[in-house]
Chains A and B, each alone.
Chain A
Amino acid sequence: MSESEFIEFVDSNQGIIHKICKVYTNNPSDYEDLFQEIMLQLWVSIHSYKGEAKLTTWMYKVALFTALTRLKKEKKIQFVEEREAHHVVTEDDLQLDEDELLRAIKQLKDADKALIFLYLEEKTYAEMAEIMGLTESNIGVRINRIKSRIKVIMEKEQ
Chain B
Amino acid sequence: MDELKEFWKASGKHYDRNKLEHMFQAEVKQSLDALNRRMYLDNILMIVIAVILLITVYFSGLQNKLPVVIEILFITSVVFIHYRIKHRLLNSPLKNISNIKEAVRLTTKRLKSYLLSYKILVPIGFSLIYLQRIWLIMQARQVAWDEMLVEWGLVLPVYIVMYIAVKIIVKFMYGSSLYELNKLNQELNTQQE
Contact = CB atoms under 8 A, between A and B. Distances in A.
Interface string A83-117: 00000000000001110010000000111101000
B4 A120 contact: yes
Interface string B152-193: 000000000000000000000000110011011001100111
Interface string B20-58: 110110011101100000000000000000000000000
A6 B17 CA distance: 12
B27 A48 contact: no
B143 interface: no
Given A10-B20, A120-B4, A141-B193, A111 B187 contact: yes
Interface string A39-80: 111011100100000000000011011001101100000000
Contact of A48 (B96, B99, B104): B96
A112 B15 CA distance: 27
B28 A15 contact: no
Interface string A113-157: 010000111100000001111100010011001010010000000
A133 B101 contact: yes
Contacts of B8: 19, 98, 101, 120-121
B12 A130 contact: no
Contact of B101 (A11, A110, A132): A132
Nearest to B95: A48
A130 B99 CA distance: 7
Contacts of B7: 96-98, 101
A35 B99 contact: no
B192 A109 contact: no
A23 to B, nearest CB: 10
B17 A19 contact: no
B119 to A, nearest CB: 21
A3 interface: yes
Given A61-B103, A132-B100, A96 B3 contact: yes
A93 to B, nearest CB: 15
A64 to B, nearest CB: 6
Contacts of A61: 94, 97, 99-100, 103
Given A62-B94, A96-B3, A69 B12 contact: no
Nearest to B107: A69
A45 B88 CA distance: 12
Contacts of A43: 24, 28-29, 32
Interface of B: 1, 3-5, 7-8, 10-15, 17, 20-21, 23-24, 27-29, 31-32, 90-104, 107, 176-177, 180-181, 183-184, 187-188, 191-193
Interface of A: 3, 6-7, 10-11, 14-15, 18-19, 22, 35-36, 39-41, 43-45, 48, 61-62, 64-65, 68-69, 71-72, 96-98, 101, 109-112, 114, 119-122, 130-134, 138, 141-142, 145, 147, 150
Given A110-B187, A112-B187, 10 more contacts: A7-B20, A14-B14, A19-B8, A40-B28, A43-B29, A44-B92, A45-B92, A61-B103, A72-B180, A141-B193
9 closest pairs, A vs B, by CB? A133-B101, A133-B99, A111-B187, A120-B8, A141-B192, A48-B95, A45-B94, A40-B28, A98-B11
